[in-house]
Structure formats: C-alpha cells, structure tokens
Amino acid sequence: MPSRRFSRPRAAVVVTAAVALLLAACSPGGGTASEPSSEPVAGGTLTYASGDAEPSCLDPHVGGNYPQALIATQYLESLVSLDDDGEVIPWLATEWTESDDGMAWEFSLRDDVTFTDGTPFDAAAVAANIAHVQDPATASSTGYLALAKITDVVAVDDHTVRLELSAPDSALLESLSQVWVAMESPKALERSQEDNCAAPVGTGPFVVDEWERQDSVTLVRNDDYNSPPADAEGTGLPYLDSIVWRFIPDSASRYAALQSGEAQVIDNAQPDTIKSAESDDAIEELDAPRPGASNRIELNSGKAPFDDERVREAFIRSVNVDDGIQSLFFGTAERSYSPLSSVEPLGLSLPDLFTVDTDAAANLLDEAGWAERDADGYRVKDGKRLTLDFPVSTNQSIPAEQSLFEQIQADAKTAGFEVNLHPLDLSSWYGALAENDYDLVSAPYTKVGPDVLRILYHSDSITPAPSGYFANLAQVDDAALDDLLTRASATSNADDRESMYEQAQRIVLDGYYILPLYDQQNHFLYSSAVQGLRAMPTVSTPTFAGAWLVS
C-alpha cells in the first residue's frame, strides 16, 4: 500500500508555507483601498455568485421574480428608467406624453437600436412585448399585474407607440421602468417558451451565451451596444468581455468564493459577513434596499384564526422582533413599521401599533374565545389548538431571517400560539400558498412606487394571476381600501395621491394584517477590483454595463 504521508522535506515546505500565509494574514493591511482608477479598463471576465434560487426561466416576463430581474438586468432594457432622485428618465423611449383624460400615453422610441438577433427595435416590438406579458400562456405575474390597465397598443408610426388604458394609471411609467416588462426581440418571442426561456434576446449590454443548469449562465459582451439609460456614464460600454453568473446557494461557500477571488461579486451577503467585511480593504459593500414593499410577515385574514382582528393584534403584540433584528443583522437592517420600503417617499410608518404588550395580547385572546390553555401551554378554543402554519421559502429567506422566525415562534409560544415553521423549497412554497395552507407568510414584493399597495392589498389580488400566484397573501378584503387604492392609481394629482396612499397604509397597519420587519435586504459584497458597479435606481438590481476590473 502506498504511503499517504508526506515525505519529510515536503511536509517542511507545507509547514513553512502555512506559517508564511498566517503571518501574511496577521500583518496589518497595506495601506488604504486603492482609489478608483479614473480610466475604465476594457476586457476581462467577472464572476458573479448568486445565492438566490436559480431561475427556471431567464425571461423575466415569465413569472417575474427577483432572481430573474437580477440576471435579466444585464441583457434586457426597458422603455424608461429612473435617476437617483427617482425621476423618470428616457431609455429605449425618448419622450412621452399623457393624454388629457389620462386614458392613453404616447411614447417616442429610439430609432437606432437593434436587438442582438438583428431585429430592429420599433413600435411593433413594443406591442409584441406587451402582448407577450399579457398573454395568459406566458404565465406572467409581476409584469402582468404591472401592465393590467393597458388595453391596447397602437403603432402610430414605426417609432411612436400609443398605449391605451382601461383607466388612468399614475404608476404606468414606474411600472414600465421595471425589468419584468423589459423589451425583448419580437422574433425571439415567437420561438417556443422553452427556447425563449433558455436565451432571451434583448438590447442590453450583454447577451446570454450559454446556460449550464444548476451551475452557471455565461453572458458575453454585446459588441453593438448603444442604448444605455439617460443617466449612464462612460463611453464604449460595456467594458467587460463576459460575465459568469454562478449559483452558489450556500452562503458560507459564496463568501469563501469572494474571499478567494473565485467570484468578484456576491449577492445575499449574510449580516455577519457584511460586518466582518467592513474591516477588509479588499471587499466593498453595495447596499441597495429594494423598492416597493418592506419585508413583512402577512397574517392570512382569509381564514381562522386570523379572520378575527383581535387574534391578529394579539399575535403582533406578543412577538418582540426588535431584539432579534439587532442581534441577527448586526446593524445592517433597520426595523420597519411600514408596508412600504424606506426608499419609497410615500411610506407611512406607525411604530406605536407594534409595541410589544403581552398583557394586552392575553386579554385579546381571552376576548376572542381562546381563553383556555392545554397541557403544552397552547391556547385552545372548542378543543382546537391555536395553531399557525408558517411556510418559509428557504430560497427567499436568508438564514438570519429564518432564525428571526424561530424567535418569533418562541415568543408566540409564550403567548399560547403554536407556530409551525415549514421550511420549503420555492415550488413547494408556492404550492402551500396556492392551497391556502398558511396563516403566516413572508413574501417579498418588489415594484417601483407605492402602486405596489394596490397589488398587495386590493381584493382583486386575491384572484391568482396567470402564473397561479396571488399577491394579496394577507387576503385583505376591504371595500374602503379597494376604493382608495383604485382612485390613487388613477389620479394625476400628486397631493391627492399622497393622501390616499397614506390612508390606505393606515388601514393595512391599523387592521393588523401585517408585521413589518425591515426593508427587503439587498446587500452585495464585491472585490475592490470591481469598479463602476451600481444598482439600478429602478428595482435596485446591480448593473454591470459600466463595470470594469482593475488588474
């Protein structure tokens, strides 16, 4: 049998090397981080390691979740974009006008843009894209809901298009800025959905080259790229030759990949690693809270026991999430008291509703008829235990968040709630929601602007979109709220809009339908060799259009 031991000289070399490495690791860092070099460098391959679930389709029209948005931002572009102040700016559309009655919008399109398969970008392409999103066979959910008011798309001429609406839509431009309704080649859309999912064709800075499932997607430079959004900086974009978009679900491995240089950018960075990266000159952080909804736990008011507002209030009053957020997130997340993200200017915060008060909670449960406790300390009513099912999507919740849910479970137990956490993969999780098999659920929802409230809390959203997903997971069914949300989305008066959205948020918060936690966390860690990386002001996905690698 051959010996597996090191020979002595070899062992000596290994030990010396290890000591040298250790010393190198312990010695103080070599000065401050290099200043961003002013001259972008062309070329190179960047590796991005994603912790999100690998999309089953690379076309964000289909379904429409955040992992799709992350990657599609690199190869698809929208009609409009936002600047850092949240103002709508031109992208594939150069200008636009709303009709006086608000029932139609006319967009002038760029006439010098072609898709990467050679198809020209024109009015017919816009029509084909909107039709694709609205086609039930596409099974779109995010894009479908965002474009729900568009009834007809008319090509006025080759590069002018008119969108006709069923009702005025104050959120139309915000909706169109999202990558879930980005423009794809109409010729490519004619392929089978399977083909289009594997390699969508857009006008973006990169092109989908190859998708090795369960491993990575390779994106290569679009050599004819000429259509950055109006706020983009630099010429000769993009600089990178290619991007390898890897899927590394395990957060520790992902961070290790960044540290070792195997990856240059990682997403879904864990709070403890963000904290320890602060002192590391070789690693930078990009914190880009997502717009739209805050990260919150929805209480399913559509069935017992949460159909009783007192039980909902009792639950919310009995769980302490502040301490957990502090310790689990190491100061990288701030507690939210609003249905909307902190980046939404119209967000309403009502902290007083969420003060922990276990006595009040106990009284409310007594009042609601859950007065007795069984041998395990759980409350019972008519022989039934106060049980709450909480399906948790392990793909959409980072471990720190899952730990927070465990702490909520422990707190709720003291109050007499039995919370059953069900860690599920994404498809089983969607299944549990479709079966109405949940009492508590945390579902991220990203959309530009406060119109997300209509999608999340209008009673219409209890009806599933073509994908089978319904967004009103709290199952709020309130006529006054419906009315406010409908009117707010139609008004063009900014003050009215603001006050209506404020009232709407008040109804949602006062009704104890949700327990807001924090913004949808969107932390990226990247090597300091990466320059020019920025998050899109639309849905906060990073774009590599202007990124380059310092050698």
Partner 1 sequence: MSGLRAAVDRAAVVRAAVVHGTGFRPTAAEAVAGLVLLLVLVAALWPGLLAPGDPLATSPADAFQAPSPAHLFGTDESGRDIYTRVVHGARDSLLIGVLATGIGIGLATVLGFVAGLGPRWLDFGTTRLVEVLFAFPGLLLALLFIVVTGPGVLSSTIAVGLATAPGYARIIRSQVRRTASAEFIEAARVLGRGRLWIVARHILPNVTAALFVLATLGLGQAIIWVSSLSYLGLGAVPPAAEWGAMLAAGRTYIANFWWMTFFPGLAIVASAAAATVIGRGIQKRNRSAA
- Our finding on whether 527 is near partner 1 (CB under 8 A) is no
Q: How far is the CB of 299 from partner 1 (least distance, A)?
A: 21
Q: How far is the CB of 370 from partner 1 (least distance, A)?
A: 22
DSSP classification of residue 513:
-
- Our finding on whether 327 is near partner 1 (CB under 8 A) is yes
Q: Is 331 left (phi over 0), alpha (psi -120 to 50) or beta?
A: left
Q: Is 490 left (phi over 0), alpha (psi -120 to 50) or beta?
A: alpha
Q: What are the DSSP calls for 41-70, one per residue?
A: ----EEEEEE-SPPPS-S-TTSB--HHHHH
On whether the CB atoms of residues 75 and 210 are closer than 8 A, the answer is no
3-state secondary structure of 431: helix
The residue from 138, 141, 273, 341 that contacts partner 1 (CB under 8 A) is 273
Looking at the Cβ atoms of 164 and 272, the one nearer to partner 1 is 272
The residue from 328, 432, 471, 481 that contacts partner 1 (CB under 8 A) is 328
Rg over alpha carbons for the chain, rounded to the nearest Å, is 25
Q: How far is the CB of 294 from partner 1 (least distance, A)?
A: 20
The residue from 87, 95, 111, 250 that contacts partner 1 (CB under 8 A) is 250
- Our finding on whether 381 is near partner 1 (CB under 8 A) is no
Looking at the Cβ atoms of 177 and 251, the one nearer to partner 1 is 251
The residue from 14, 22, 252, 371 that contacts partner 1 (CB under 8 A) is 252
Q: Which stretch binds partner 1 (CB under 8 A): 199-207, 252-260, 286-294, 498-506?
A: 252-260
- Our finding on whether 160 is near partner 1 (CB under 8 A) is no
Looking at the Cβ atoms of 232 and 330, the one nearer to partner 1 is 330
Residues 401-440: x/- map of binding to partner 1 (CB under 8 A)?
-xx--xx-xxx---------xxx-----------------
DSSP classification of residue 180:
G
Q: How far is the CB of 323 from partner 1 (least distance, A)?
A: 4
Q: How far is the CB of 420 from partner 1 (least distance, A)?
A: 9
- Our finding on whether 442 is near partner 1 (CB under 8 A) is no
d(CA 376, CA 481): 39
How many residues form the binding site for partner 1 (CB under 8 A)?
Answer: 29
Q: Is 260 left (phi over 0), alpha (psi -120 to 50) or beta?
A: alpha
CA angle 539, 543, 337 (to 5 degrees): 30
Residues 447-486: x/- map of binding to partner 1 (CB under 8 A)?
----------------------------------------
- Our finding on whether 255 is near partner 1 (CB under 8 A) is yes
3-state secondary structure of 373: strand
The residue from 266, 311, 400, 549 that contacts partner 1 (CB under 8 A) is 400
Q: How far is the CB of 312 from partner 1 (least distance, A)?
A: 22
Peptide bond into 305 cis (omega under 30): yes
- Our finding on whether 399 is near partner 1 (CB under 8 A) is yes
Looking at the Cβ atoms of 265 and 328, the one nearer to partner 1 is 328
Helix or strand run (H / E) with residue 364: helix 358-367
- Our finding on whether 256 is near partner 1 (CB under 8 A) is yes
Looking at the Cβ atoms of 66 and 405, the one nearer to partner 1 is 405
Q: What are the DSSP calls for 252-311, one per residue?
A: HHHHHHHHHTS-SEESS--HHHHHHHTT-TTEEEEE---SSBPEEEEE-TTSTTTTSHHH
Looking at the Cβ atoms of 271 and 511, the one nearer to partner 1 is 271
- Give every CB contact of residue 526 below 8 A, 6+ residues apart in sequence: 258, 264, 265, 266, 283, 284, 285, 286, 533
Looking at the Cβ atoms of 320 and 486, the one nearer to partner 1 is 320
Q: Which two tokens stand for residue 478?
A: 């309130």
Looking at the Cβ atoms of 227 and 251, the one nearer to partner 1 is 251
Helix or strand run (H / E) with residue 549: strand 548-549
Looking at the Cβ atoms of 413 and 487, the one nearer to partner 1 is 413
Q: How far is the CB of 375 from partner 1 (least distance, A)?
A: 16
- Our finding on whether 318 is near partner 1 (CB under 8 A) is no
Considering only CA atoms, which of 343, 208, 273 is closest in space to residue 526?
273
The residue from 200, 289, 324, 347 that contacts partner 1 (CB under 8 A) is 324
Q: How many other β-carbons are positioned within 10 Å of the β-carbon of residue 350?
A: 15
Considering only CA atoms, which of 400, 391, 368, 353 is closest in space to residue 513?
353
* Residues at the site binding partner 1, with contacts judged by CB under 8 A: 250-252, 255-256, 270, 272-273, 275-276, 320, 323-324, 326-328, 394, 399-400, 402-403, 406-407, 409-411, 421-423
